[in-house]
Structure 1
Amino acid sequence: MIARGLTGSCLVFVGGLIVSPLPDTARLLHLDVFTVVRETMPGRMFGLALVLAGLGLLATAWLTLCRQVAGTQATGRDAALGTVRRAALVWSAPLMVAPPLFSRDGWSYAAQGMLTTLGVSPYDHGPAALRGPIVNAVDPRWMDTPTPYGPLPLILGDLAARLTSDPWVLVVFHRCIAVTGLVLLAWAIPRLARWTGVNPALSTGIVIASPLMMANGIGGLHNDLLMVGLMAAALVVAAEGSWQWAAVLGGAAAAVKLPGGLICIAVALVSLPLAATMVKRVRRLAAVGAISLGTLFGMGAAWGLGAGWVAALAVPGSVNTPLSAPTVLGGALDQVAELLGAGTGDAFFLDLVRALATVASGVVVLGIALGWRTGDRVGALHATVVMMSALLLLSPVVHLWYFLWLVPFLAPVRLDRLGTTLLMALSIIAGVVAPLDSSLHGAYLLIVLGSIHAAVLIAILLFTRRSRDRLERIARAEWLLAR
């Protein structure tokens, strides 16, 4: 099982070297054979096939792992948890030194750290202010845009860029930062699961060893992994330790990406006594907010970065993603209006629906802050699930890796058999289709062929009788043990 997953990770690594953008300094580009493979359609299709085959092996190994730990009795759960953590460590090892897979965001992180080192604010200038290999693999779409991220990844990127200017080395450093989030999840998820009485080994396995995590969290190298790790740690610390330190962790999560700050609401709720009065609720929310905002803005001030990320928050919304419900709905309404000759403009309904969805998500968050039950650990976990679900459903921009915001808090919840099955199916699909993102940079035939390949692979993993039986056994075992 662990060996199968390791083989899959190695295939993803090798295939990723073929399909992923690389800087000019990459020594592999000086190998004629390697260059020919990367620059021909058959060669790139071969690389994509390796990646998808590797993700398939990872998915089957993960299902076997989950089935193995799902039926573990209470006395053997510590050993099962160790097996899960070991599997995640081994499977992620080959991906640690890979270039950013399925997205070019990692190259942007390296460039933004270099800008900070040179005293150029990434909140005022995009990577285009730099020259040389550091920007060779940055997505052209983001070359002239400031970063919407908080100060924490910029500070860490600055420290790394003071030691080296090699883009690939900087990428490995940023992946180590992301893996810090994985370590925090490996620590926090079992504790969250014990609150709800579900199997901590299975909950942890669903989160830290899934195809979603391997493809998008580790391989894709996104700041979202560090953000959600800090969020989970904040919730645990609030319930089992100090709400003040939990507020600091919540501020640090927001200092990665602003949605991470929503965990501060759950921190306030869980740290209050049962049935707290509205006055106590508002005071605690204000206190947690003050500490978290002090952490967020204090980092920027201490490093001389300021709060320029506020003005750059609209940058992600400049793209339309098919996973965003408001974007799809607004775009469809604009097309209908154009067919009817309504004269409403190119993006009238798109902007309107996005704005209404943003307001609706704010209403959900405010309602939870002022109306959700207090002093209840499970209730605080459920509140976090509702907030992150609303954010994913109503956000104007949703990428595959945004599901990392939700799964770590949904996995420890006591779900029924259908819910567990759907959660695992989501984790497989979001991982297997990851290669069909921007890493293919314009190879449309490759995207079509890869989509067919991925569809076949998903069908094999989810819709064959053997796979259905495997998922059913996992869900049934968890459901029976949770009763």
Structure 2
Amino acid sequence: MVRRGVLGYVLVLVGGLVVSVLPASSAVASLPLVADLRSSTGGRMLGLAVVVVGLGLASSAWLRLVRAAGDLGVREDDRTALVHRATAAWTLPLLLAPPLFSRDGWSYAAQGVLTHLGLSPYVWTPSILDGQVVEAVDPMWLATATPYGPLPLVWGSAAAGLTTDPWLLVVAHRLLALVGLALLAWAVPRLSRWSRVDPARASALVLASPLVLAHGVGGVHNDLLMAGLAAVALVVAARHGWLVGALVVGLGVAVKLPAGVAGVGVVLVTLPAAARVSARATRATQVGAVSLLTVVCIGAVSHLGVGWVHALGVPGEVQTPLSVSTQLGRLAHLLTGADLVDAFRTAGSVLLVVVAVTVGLRSRSGDRRTALRATAAVALALVVLSPVVHHWYVLWCLPFLAAVELPARGWQALLHASWLGGLVAPLDSSLRGADAVIAVGVAVVAATALVQAVGHRRAEIRAEVRAGAQARTGDASPTSPISR
């Protein structure tokens, strides 16, 4: 199982060298075999097939890991240790990979260089740089300011003080993603115990899932670090009070704004039972003020300020197919001829605020389980109602949903979202314009998904039959949570 996953991610690394965007002057891009494959449609098709087969092997191994992690006949510590070993082993092949399934990692590298030069990426853009560090930056973002907080920029600046090689700078940012993974490894089991959910199963669903490893580690997205800090904020708030929780929320917001969703849980878990509306409003103001002050202080110390707030609308320049509000606006445009995308996006944002306020006011206070459920609900609403949604945005809600007790259908939906979110990772914007490659990719992904879905369901049925037989003989452990 672990070896199969390692082989899968090795194939992802090898195929990624062919299909990923690389700096044109980099040594890897000019290697004879790599260069030949990258320059032909057939070569790119082959590279994409290798990536999808790798992800297929990795996701197959992960589905087996989830079933093993849910075996209540084995000690929890042993099952959790298995999840950690698998996660570490599967992460290793991705450490030296280029940014996979997205070009954002190259932008992070360029922004770190700007910061090191004393030029704020909130004012200056990578377009003023030249050389290898900007060769692979997406032209769409080459002349735009960064909408991210100061923490990744400070880290990128420190890395740029050691090297100007964009590949090594990407590796440095991938280390930040591993920090996020470590934070989740610490926080998720503790959160799951609040809901009496099996910690090993929750850890397997979050840490080793194809979605997390493909996008969070392979794609080098800041969302993994942000999600780790958000999950930690809830745990430390319950243990040490709202002030510490708010500080950690501020650290998360200093990575990316959606970390603020954890503030809802911090408010609820640190209030006494049956808190009045006035007490909730006061605590929300306190948590918000401390979180904001934390971000402002980081900006002041780093001399970057809070200029990133003015660039928060930059991601909205893209109309992603996963955004519900965007697609409803486009449908309205087809029906009426009027440009209603912005109106629907605004309505979605307003609805999100209504959901957050309603959950904060109506949820039971002073109860850890309820605070976790409230955070999960608002985080899920944030993903569903956002004007822009990418696959890796599921990371915003995955740690909280995995730790909440879900009905069987909800658990299966989350499982399949984590699995498919990683399997379809290659079908991203880096393939735009390559229609033949995309067609082959879609076909291979669909076939792989069908085979794995059938295989996983058969394995579940066999597990249910074994559990039933053992129950009849009276020597079984409790029913596996997979069948719940």
Q: Please give the range of the TM-score, normalised by the shorter of the 2 chains.
A: over 0.9
Q: Which amino acid aligns with 2:398?
A: V
Q: Which amino acid aligns with 2:155?
A: L
Deviation at residue 134 of structure 1 after TM alignment: 0.4
- Distance in structure 1 (CA, Å) of the matches to 2:228 and 2:147: 19
Q: Does the residue aligned with 2:410 lie in a helix, a strand or coil?
A: helix
Q: Which amino acid aligns with 1:167?
A: P
- Distance in structure 2 (CA, Å) of the matches to 1:68 and 1:454: 25
Question: 410, 416, 437: which one pairs with 2:428?
Answer: 437
- Distance in structure 1 (CA, Å) of the matches to 2:394 and 2:181: 14
2:87 is aligned with 1:88: yes
Q: Does the residue aligned with 1:131 lie in a helix, a strand or coil?
A: coil
Match of 2:180 in 1: 181
User: What whole-Å deviation, never above 9, does each CA across 1:361-411 have from its counterpart, x for those lacking one?
Assistant: 111112222332111111111111111111111111000000111111111
Match of 1:14 in 2: 14
Question: 458, 473, 482: which one pairs with 1:469?
Answer: 458
Instruction: Map 1:149-228 to 2 at 5 A.
Output: 149-228=148-227
Match of 1:245 in 2: 244
Match of 2:474 in 1: none
Instruction: Map 1:381-460 to 2 at 5 A.
Output: 381-460=372-451
Deviation at residue 453 of structure 1 after TM alignment: 0.9
2:51 is aligned with 1:51: yes
Question: Percent of aligned pairs with the same residue?
Answer: 49
Q: Is the 8 A contact 1:421 1:475 kept in 2?
A: no
Aligned length in residues: 472
Q: Which amino acid aligns with 1:395?
A: S
Q: Does the residue aligned with 2:75 lie in a helix, a strand or coil?
A: helix
- Distance in structure 2 (CA, Å) of the matches to 1:21 and 1:413: 38
Runs of 4+ in 1 over 6 A off after TM superposition: 473-479
Instruction: Map 1:257-276 to 2 at 5 A.
Output: 257-276=256-275
User: What whole-Å deviation, never above 9, does each CA across 1:173-208 have from its counterpart, x for those lacking one?
Assistant: 000001111000011111111111111101100001
- Distance in structure 1 (CA, Å) of the matches to 2:320 and 2:83: 33
Q: Does the residue aligned with 1:306 lie in a helix, a strand or coil?
A: coil
2:374 is aligned with 1:375: no
Match of 2:62 in 1: 62
Q: Is the 8 A contact 2:72 2:479 kept in 1?
A: no
- Distance in structure 1 (CA, Å) of the matches to 2:464 and 2:47: 34
Deviation at residue 26 of structure 1 after TM alignment: 2.4
Instruction: Map 1:322-401 to 2 at 5 A.
Output: 322-338=321-337, 344=338, 347=339, 349-401=340-392
- Distance in structure 1 (CA, Å) of the matches to 2:247 and 2:16: 37
- Distance in structure 2 (CA, Å) of the matches to 1:292 and 1:80: 36
Deviation at residue 474 of structure 1 after TM alignment: 7.4
- Distance in structure 2 (CA, Å) of the matches to 1:293 and 1:28: 43
Deviation at residue 475 of structure 1 after TM alignment: 9.1
Q: Which amino acid aligns with 2:405?
A: R
Unaligned stretches of 5+ residues in structure 2:
468-476
Instruction: Map 1:222-237 to 2 at 5 A.
Output: 222-237=221-236
> Structure 1's 108 and 475: CA in aligned 2 closer, same or farther, altered over 3 A?
farther
> Structure 1's 474 and 251: CA in aligned 2 closer, same or farther, altered over 3 A?
farther
- Distance in structure 1 (CA, Å) of the matches to 2:221 and 2:95: 13
Q: Which amino acid aligns with 2:458?
A: D
- Distance in structure 1 (CA, Å) of the matches to 2:164 and 2:463: 47
Unaligned stretches of 5+ residues in structure 1:
339-343
Match of 1:77 in 2: 76
Q: Does the residue aligned with 2:101 lie in a helix, a strand or coil?
A: coil
Deviation at residue 125 of structure 1 after TM alignment: 2.1
Q: Is the 8 A contact 1:417 1:475 kept in 2?
A: no
Q: Which amino acid aligns with 2:136?
A: A
- Distance in structure 2 (CA, Å) of the matches to 1:421 and 1:161: 43
State the TM-score, normalized to the length of structure 2.
0.94
- Distance in structure 1 (CA, Å) of the matches to 2:289 and 2:408: 41
Q: Which amino acid aligns with 1:459?
A: L
User: What whole-Å deviation, never above 9, does each CA across 1:79-106 have from its counterpart, x for those lacking one?
Assistant: 1101101100000111011000000000
Q: Which amino acid aligns with 1:383?
A: A
Q: Is the 8 A contact 1:152 1:255 kept in 2?
A: yes
- Distance in structure 1 (CA, Å) of the matches to 2:464 and 2:195: 16
Q: Which amino acid aligns with 1:287?
A: Q
Superposed CA RMSD in Å reads 1.7
Once the two structures are overlaid, the 10-residue window that deviates more, 180-189 or 438-447, is 438-447
Q: Which amino acid aligns with 1:351?
A: D
Q: Which amino acid aligns with 1:41?
A: T
Match of 2:473 in 1: none
Match of 1:41 in 2: 41
Q: Which amino acid aligns with 1:290?
A: A
State the TM-score, normalized to the length of structure 1.
0.95
- Distance in structure 1 (CA, Å) of the matches to 2:54 and 2:189: 28
Deviation at residue 25 of structure 1 after TM alignment: 4.5
Q: Which amino acid aligns with 2:259?
A: G
Q: Is the 8 A contact 1:146 1:312 kept in 2?
A: yes
Match of 1:341 in 2: none
Deviation at residue 243 of structure 1 after TM alignment: 2.4
Q: Does the residue aligned with 1:143 lie in a helix, a strand or coil?
A: coil
Q: Which amino acid aligns with 1:382?
A: R
Q: Is the 8 A contact 1:417 1:472 kept in 2?
A: no
- Distance in structure 2 (CA, Å) of the matches to 1:415 and 1:479: 18
